[in-house]
Amino acid sequence: MAIHRRCVPARVRRGATSFDWRACVLGCGLAGVNNADWYAAFLAAAPDVRALSVESDAHTTVPCSARTAARRA
pTM for this one?
0.61
Which H or E element spans position 27?
A: strand 25-30
Q: pLDDT-based confidence at 72, cuts 50/70/90?
A: low
pLDDT attached to residue 40: 93
Kindly list the domain boundaries of the chain, sorted by start residue.
24-73
In Å, what is the CA distance from 16 to each residue of 9, 10, 11, 20?
A: 9, 9, 5, 10
The helices-and-strands tally (H runs, E runs) of the chain is: 3, 2
pLDDT in tens, 10-27: 777 778 777 788 888 888
